[in-house]
Amino acid sequence: MAENDQMTDTQAATEQTAAQPMFAIEKLYVRDMSLEVPGGAEVFLQQVAPEVGVQFKTGFNQLGADAFEGILQVTVTAKAENKVYFLIEVQQAGIFRVAGIPEEALQAFLGSAIPNVLFPYAREAVSDASTRAGFPPVVLQPVNFDAMAQAAEQSPSEVEAPTTVQ
């Protein structure tokens, strides 16, 4: 009898754990990265400071029942007088386990949680790439991905975000 009670308690604990929301990082990686300095050495002789523009795109693919690949793409373009000084594009990605999130809330959850995890890694990759190209580091300012996810539900598009070049 005591054995049956113990088994019932274990089953109840397992069922309760399965119903709780779960979000876990399985793997983080750079999916794609490119750096272009189309003007070559000429850009270093320019006296005009470039304007730096930043664009973000987010997305995710379902890999299995509870596995998703999330991607944060960051594109940084520095231009002055219609000349591109440099172009950096980073696709920071990760594999995430997600369970216990209601289907109707899953899209919004992934659109917010995944880019919030990936952003610090993408920011570091962008800063490192600009420095390696011979330019000052590009420091991406914090981004409110929660608001971006809500805006994307209403009208999907690319989003501009602030940046600082030091």
Q: Is residue 164 part of a domain?
A: no
The per-residue pLDDT for range 124-165, each reduced to its tens digit, is 999 999 999 999 999 999 999 988 888 877 765 444 554 555
Q: Is residue 73 part of a domain?
A: yes
pLDDT of amino acid 149: 81
pLDDT of amino acid 104: 87
pLDDT of amino acid 1: 52
Q: State whether residue 56 is helix, strand or coil.
A: strand
Q: Is residue 166 part of a domain?
A: no
Residue 23 has pLDDT above 60, yes or no: yes
Overall domain count for the chain = 1
Q: State whether residue 151 is helix, strand or coil.
A: helix
Residue 42 has pLDDT above 80, yes or no: yes
The CATH number of whichever domain residue 149 belongs to comes to: 3.10.420.10
Cα–Cα dist 86/149, whole Å: 28
Which range has the worst mean pLDDT, 20-24, 67-71, 97-101, 146-150?
Answer: 146-150
3 confidence band (pLDDT: 50, 70, 90): low
What's the whole-model pTM score?
Answer: 0.79
27 confidence band (pLDDT: 50, 70, 90): very high
Cα–Cα dist 101/110, whole Å: 10
DSSP E strands: which ranges in the chain?
A: 22-36, 51-62, 67-80, 83-99, 138-140, 159-160, 163-165
DSSP 63: -
pLDDT of amino acid 117: 96
Q: Which residues form the domain of 147? A: 19-156
Structure tokens at 114: 């995944």
Beta-bridge partner residues of 91: 32, 73
Report the amino acid identity of residue 142: P
Q: Is residue 65 part of a domain?
A: yes
Q: Is residue 12 part of a domain?
A: no
The residue among 106, 112, 102 whose CA lies nearest residue 145 is: 112
73 confidence band (pLDDT: 50, 70, 90): very high
Residue 30 has pLDDT above 60, yes or no: yes
Cα–Cα dist 69/96, whole Å: 6
DSSP 165: E
Residue 139 falls in which region: left (phi positive, over 0), alpha (psi -120 to 50) or beta: beta
Choose between 3 and 120: higher pLDDT: 120
